[in-house]
Amino acid sequence: MRYLRTFIVLCSMIAISHGFAQATGSGEVAEKNIPIQVTEVAPGLYFQYHHQESNNAWLVTSDGVLVIDARQHPQRAEELLAAIRKTTDQPIRWVINTHAHGDHYFGNSVFKREGAIFIAHQDTLGMMQQHFDSEMNRRQGYFRQMKLDPSLVKLVLPDISFDRSLTLNLGGRVVELLYLGPGQNPGDTFVRFPKEKVIFAGGPFSKASWPNPSFTPSITKWVEILRSIAVMDIDIYLGGHGDIGIKEDVIKEAKMLEDFDYEIRSAYAKGMSREEMVRELKFSAYRDIRNYYRMNLFISSYYHLLKTGKPENAYP
């Protein structure tokens, strides 16, 4: 971690938990004041950790700036742009949307105005086209709570989509976009910086946090993907949510999802109902992990997947 250099960006808004519309457990209280942090994880490669909302990264090159993800509202994207401007005057040339959740692309219009070219996996493009309205609907509580005008959110689609992988050479820096199959979401894109040994892992990885499993078509596949990125020649793992991670954090998440998968599959095979599972499966070993308070919802979503073969939430 020798490159790490952290700037604390004072968070002017009243910080609220990511699960704004949910009841919060005791573990959610102390973390509300975690400030936004910008860290230079490798020369010219910055990571913005926004605990209450979603994360971003940007790479400054002599050809311009590449940004990963675009926040949840144009106003939040303006704040991201201001943070980028503290590190460089270079033009914003490229934006990668790692997956089609609104908290990662609803701010696209700001970077479109800056002249950026947008890149995403073809399934992310499909999800944006089909599910923009439902994404908007499920984020109305956030907009209200943050006093952000939803009508300012415009659908800006990727200009370039890819299938398996795409390698960019920008001002002498190499950036690899990888699709390893659906993890948390169809279209999940990993952005690897091979020389810097850093990867931005978007939806599938968030350090020390229960990820929402209601979008995945297969937890087994998701675990496989996490294990495959854990053995890559990478030192720093950046999630779409959560703080900076290392290999051990990725392996911990894989193990947690594996246990979740095993327990629920076993209960399902025994004929337990959704209600019985929600009542009896506690996953107590993981009760200190962020978002544990949403466990009932997670169990219920996975039951739905096992019963119907389809994720509870949107699928392309």
Where on the chain is the footprint of Zn ion (CB under 5 A)? 54, 101, 103
Rounded Cα distance, 148 and 142, in Å: 8
Rounded Cα distance, 33 and 29, in Å: 9
Least distance to Zn ion from the beta carbon of 165, Å? 23
Give the residue with the Cβ less far from Zn ion, 39 or 184.
184
Least distance to Zn ion from the beta carbon of 52, Å? 12
Give the residue with the Cβ less far from Zn ion, 32 or 86.
32
Give the residue with the Cβ less far from Zn ion, 37 or 72.
72
Residue sitting closest to Zn ion (CB): 103
Least distance to Zn ion from the beta carbon of 99, Å? 8
Give the residue with the Cβ less far from Zn ion, 37 or 185.
185
Give the residue with the Cβ less far from Zn ion, 103 or 253.
103
Rounded Cα distance, 220 and 118, in Å: 30
Structure tokens at 194: 């091979």
| DSSP 8-state class, residue 103 | G
State how far the alpha carbon of 186 is from the alpha carbons of 5, 177, 316, in Å.
34, 15, 8
Give the residue with the Cβ less far from Zn ion, 101 or 139.
101
Rounded Cα distance, 76 and 11, in Å: 12
Q: Strand (E) positions, 43-84?
A: 45-49, 56-61, 64-68
Rounded Cα distance, 161 and 119, in Å: 6
Least distance to Zn ion from the beta carbon of 185, Å? 9
Least distance to Zn ion from the beta carbon of 69, Å? 9
Least distance to Zn ion from the beta carbon of 225, Å? 17
Whether residue 170 contacts residue 63, with contact meaning beta carbons closer than 8 Å, is answered with yes
Rounded Cα distance, 40 and 28, in Å: 27
The residues, ordered by sequence, that sit 6+ positions from 21 with a Cβ below 8 Å of its Cβ are: 141, 142
